[in-house]
Structure 1
Amino acid sequence: MFTRVDYSKLNARQKENYNFQKVAGRLADYGFNCLRLNDDWHGADFLAVHVDGNAVLRVQLKGRFSFDTKYRDRGLHITFFANEDCYVYPHDDVLAVVEKRGRFGETISWAERGSYTWPSLPAWAVEILAQYRV
């Protein structure tokens, strides 16, 4: 009755919905209830509300490890999957570490457009993101 979907055959919106459900499932294990937003609210695709009633994460869903200057100073977390690993990291905190280590170099993407993504997770990033794996 149930047939697994081929992720590569989903369109962009379907992939976003799929990824949201996968992340929400992971965060549920840590006491978070995820609430999908109809549009980006201050950069967030969804809210993750903790059962303690105090913690609320504003989360931007991405397809890969990335940063964007438009997300600075917004208190956002970024989430993405690298293979079977799911990461939810505070954008500004991790960005500060990556900038300090000079991992953008002199790229046009970062210098002129203010955004940067990696098509696959670099080995050096696994160390930085280890504490944010869920």
Structure 2
Amino acid sequence: MAKLPGEAIEVINRNALVSLALTRGYIAFLPVYDGGVDFILYNESTNDVQKVQLKSRWTIDTKYQGRGIVVAFPDRGCWYLVPHDELVRMADGYGFTAQTSWTKPGGAYSYAPLSKRMVEDLKPYRFERLEVVTERAAVEASE
């Protein structure tokens, strides 16, 4: 199988995350212009709006601070959807915010794979595994 281009990987990952979000009552909207928000999740029952930045790994970036953005990323088969500013708070506790890549102007920091501590800290933000959700949908469709 040929290596997928980055754009294809992003579409596949976005669709996977949207599928997971559907199980929590969200629908997805794609912005006409990406100014730091890859897509928007909206839950009509709770009136919750999530401005999502899709990443390939745990990431913090100074350009997302204070904007109400949530970062979505996979790690070892699990997807996470975490408020960016909460990731920065966690990063401070891990010592990541002392790294030069974060402290320089326009700083950012990413990390993969997640440590055991990070997996535990991120548990409230973890989705069910995609294969569990798709299997359940397939069973329900056949009923």
Alpha-carbon spacing, 1:57–1:105, altered in 2? closer, same or farther (3 Å):
closer
Q: How does 1:14-93 map to 2 (within 5 A)?
A: 14-41=8-35, 43-52=36-45, 54-93=47-86
Residue 108 of structure 1: CA displacement? 2.0
Percentage of pairs with the same residue? 30
CA distance in 2, matches of 1:102, 1:24: 29
Map Cα deviations across residues 1-44 of structure 1 (whole Å, 9 max, x no partner): xxxxx6x8111111110100000000000000011224323x21
2:132 is aligned to: none
Map Cα deviations across residues 76-133 of structure 1 (whole Å, 9 max, x no partner): 000011121010001102311321x142164221121410001311222111111000
2:100 is aligned to: 108
Question: TM-score, normalising length from structure 1?
Answer: 0.86
Q: Which amino acid aligns with 1:121?
A: L
C-alpha contact 2:76 2:113 (8 A) present in aligned 1: no
Instruction: Tell me which protein shows more helix as a share of its residues.
Output: 2
Match of 2:119 among 123, 126, 129: 126
> Aligned Cα RMSD in Å?
1.7
Instruction: Tell me which protein shows more strand as a share of its residues.
Output: 1
Gaps of 5+ in 2: 128-143
Question: TM-score, normalising length from structure 2?
Answer: 0.80
Q: Return the index of the structure with the highest Cα Rg.
A: 2
CA distance in 1, matches of 2:80, 2:19: 13
CA distance in 1, matches of 2:15, 2:25: 15
Gaps of 5+ in 1: 1-5
